[in-house]
Chains A and B, each alone.
Chain A
Amino acid sequence: MTAHIPYDHETELENVLERCNAARQAPLPDKDSLPEGFSGTLGHFPVYFPEEIAHAAGLLPINVLGGGNRLELKHADARMGSFVCSICRSTAELGLNGSLQGLTGFITHPICDAAKHLAGIWTRNFPEQLAQILYLPQNVNTPGAVRYIAAEYQRLRGELEKRTGHSVGDEALRTSIRTYNRNRRLLRELYALRRDEPWKLSCTESYLLTRARTRMPCEEHNALLARALDAVRQRNLRAKDKPRVVFVGGFCEQPPLEMLETIDDNCYVVDDDLLIGLRWITDDVPESGDPIWALAESFVERSAASPVQHDARKTKEGYLMEMLRASKADGAILTAAKFCEPGLDEQVAWSKHLDQERIAYLVLEFEEKMTSFEQMGMQLETFAESLLFALA
């Protein structure tokens, strides 16, 4: 008989975060260590991927997010030009060094040309894996977009059926949609909490909690999120004198944790686009009717925004302004990953717009492999002070 340990919300949160951080750094599960109910793993590159389809096929969705700042490139330097962004190069490295050997497949998207080239690199080097581009449309405004996406999702479903050797039924898809709807609700709660009481949950903690879904079944992630939310709500922390900011530019390549911690030291990040692909669908996907159609329709009708998705209804400046307004932010941190063409283009557009709107912002360029944050820390400190001074 074990002794009863009284509930302590800080310990509880610490345990959850520890599990999340361990998942972030864990190697790919092999056949023997796969969670129950899964027969393989399916890798997918940012930004958005309809994980429900893989989940229903019994393939654990693995969001491949590059190699962070502890991976040494031994092969990728010779396979991708030095002018390609870090996340694409380190993803190729993870493939070439065998870290992603067990994947059933790897799916990338037409978010940028470097990302599309990953499918070719995969095809040439890992012929045993399903290596494809899921052609999510860059035109979601023409009538017929939902029908096209549904056809593309059906194609993916068929590919996964071939790989797994069993059919993916509508009911299995609806079950997966229900599981992911719960996940979406929990993530929305997490972000609402950060918006309303940012002193209770840092951007880094929120990021770790969200990112855990990239390496574990959605069911387990749901349980962890629920525990974390309960614990965070009980946190009795006082608000500090920090400005409220929105962080953008983290939609694909991941900023190092140390960078997020440096930001947390100086500001409250009340909204961000970190891991936006995991939060792409902004409301519940219909749980009845044709599940493929429901997913396709949700991509068009209830979705977020990013620099790599064109949508005439959502200008890039417009959605940033909406993030600032809804989160009552005092300013913005406009980041872009080094060599990320869409991100760098957007950074110019955003900064010009915020100049026009007289909203304070800080421009930062990052790379997933960066290890020095002192200079960034000083920039952030100055930015935060100037914001507080202006607000005083």
Chain B
Amino acid sequence: MSTDILQAAQTRPLAAAPFDARAEGQRLMKDWYTGLAEARERGQHVANVFVMGNAIEILRSFDFQLVFPEINSLQTGVRKASEEYLRLSEDYGMSPDVCSYVKADVGLILKEQRHPAGLIPKADIAIASNMCSTFIKWAEIWERMLKTPAFVLDLPGQRGGNWKARPGDAQHAADSRWIEAQFRDLIQKCEKITGRRFDMDRLAEVEERVNRMMFHWNNVMTLNRVCPAPFNAMLDGLTYIGIMNVYRGTPEGVEFMRRLEEQLKDKVARGEGRVAEERFRLLFSGTPCYVSMRRLVELFETWGGVFAYSDYLTFASGGMDAGELVYDTSRPLESLAEVTALAAQRGLSNQFFAHERLAQQIRDYDVDGIVFHGIKSCRFVSSGMADTRDYLNKRLKVPSLYIESDLIDPRYWSDAQIKNRVDAFFETLHQRGGAAPLAAKAVAAAGGSPA
């Protein structure tokens, strides 16, 4: 987005009150897709980024139009079009056993970038962090198929259990130094691509907006510690993280988060929950199945079960909700490296030691049970899940449910099987002395659903 365009976007009237997060989220996502389709006409440079470890702040300071291939892929699922893309990539040679987001994206390339939401521009650069190893393989596919140069952003992650990443200590300093070196390298590449000089003040501006977004985001998350929870982390929350990513560091993003917090505060003050009668507070571990995301939530809300939180909201929003992660805009680049190092260790790569984060979230959100959603094609989320479940069951005695499907591949969603398991889980919660089951009585509230 050029500066002019960015300023024009800032002056665009925002949705009138009362704030409807779902409608506003949908509008913003639609605008984003329109922006993507028109990027080349505007002469704007384009960057592919992922939701974990992406240097968005630097890219925005150069006015790159950002493409989120993960969001493009999940949107094929939401729009019930994923199977076509997946089959195309499998016909091309991709294995049934690899990430379905990658496969949907290969399908997109084979369809010459025609996405159900519009034309996706080819990128001038792709930023792939090592937080999910598949990001790197994915970027290598773009290098081959689209000739898009990849910049691998290597973020030193959590090295072991009970790892304390402390700002300012020698380890954090060494990790930050390495990340800063890579940011400087990336800046040079961006200067070459755009023909523009890096502007430190622009970076500080973007960071200031990210700080404000994070402030509201953290407050929004905290509001769901209240009973009844004002939103469902795995339905409403998906809209929120969409905006957190796509509009990170923008005026629209700040305004969305501010108004969202305001709306949810009012809801909490009225004692209004996501469901009419909240009976079970749950924690969701893993990613959604985007082809059946409403159905998945419905299966739980029918029993009065609400997902008060999900680790997905942490790692899929950049991992910055782990506290103390605020940019010091008086030293933008150094601070970006320092905060990125902490976010990588506290909010992203700690997925590999998931028991620690989940144990904390069980306490913070006072949940009655955990639902683990194993994703066949996502090793980042799923490889240690069964072991984590076993560990938490033994130590914290929190009831849990394990279900399995896929990110966007409808062929792996087995409705009857998942429903049986969900029903049996609630029967168990009831037998443990939880709230009485509301047999066959839907209590799902009408409001709140994702973009």
Contacts and interface: CB of A to CB of B under 8 A. Distances in A.
Contact of B159 (A132, A137, A144, A347): A132
A352 interface: yes
B156 A135 contact: yes
B448 interface: no
A123 B93 contact: no
A125 B132 contact: no
Contact of B156 (A148, A308, A348, A349): A148
Contact of B93 (A143, A148, A351): A351
A385 interface: no
A346 B134 CA distance: 12
A83 interface: yes
Nearest to A336: B95
B33 interface: no
Given A124-B388, A341-B379, A139 B153 contact: yes
A155 to B, nearest CB: 7
A294 interface: no
A78 B390 contact: yes
A262 B403 CA distance: 40
Contact of B97 (A83, A133, A144, A316): A83
A102 to B, nearest CB: 19
A164 B28 CA distance: 57
A78 B352 contact: no
B94 interface: yes
Given A123-B161, A155-B171, A310 B382 contact: no
Contact of B178 (A113, A130, A147, A345): A147
B98 A131 contact: no
B292 interface: no
B113 to A, nearest CB: 19
B267 interface: no
Interface string A324-353: 000000000000101101101111110110
A143 B388 contact: no
B93 A352 contact: yes
A142 B185 contact: yes
A80 B97 contact: no
Interface stretch (B70-78, B135-143, B250-258): B135-143
Given A117-B352, A147-B178, A112 B377 contact: no
B133 interface: yes
Interface in B157-179: 157-162, 171, 174-175, 177-178
Given A112-B379, A316-B140, A348 B93 contact: yes
Interface string A345-377: 111110110000000000000000000000000
Contacts of B152: 138-139, 310
A151 interface: yes
A120 interface: yes
B376 interface: yes
Contacts of A152: 156
A112 B391 contact: no
B136 A79 contact: no
B432 interface: no
Contacts of A339: 97
A113 B383 contact: yes
A116 interface: yes
A187 to B, nearest CB: 27
A114 interface: yes
Interface in B85-118: 92-95, 97-99, 102
B424 interface: no
Contacts of B329: none
Contacts of B144: 317, 349, 352
A81 B181 CA distance: 38
Interface of B: 92-95, 97-99, 102, 130, 132-134, 136-137, 140-141, 143-144, 150-154, 156-162, 171, 174-175, 177-178, 181-182, 185, 349, 352-355, 374, 376-377, 379-380, 382-388, 390-391, 404
Given A137-B154, A148-B156, 15 more contacts: A80-B386, A81-B383, A111-B133, A119-B161, A121-B387, A124-B161, A132-B159, A137-B178, A138-B133, A139-B130, A139-B154, A144-B178, A345-B94, A348-B93, A349-B140
Interface of A: 78-81, 83-84, 88, 92, 110-114, 116-117, 119-121, 123-125, 127, 130-135, 137-139, 142-145, 147-148, 151-152, 155, 307-308, 310, 312, 315-317, 336, 338-339, 341-342, 344-349, 351-352
10 contacts: A83-B97, A88-B383, A112-B379, A113-B383, A116-B157, A119-B161, A124-B161, A139-B151, A336-B95, A338-B97
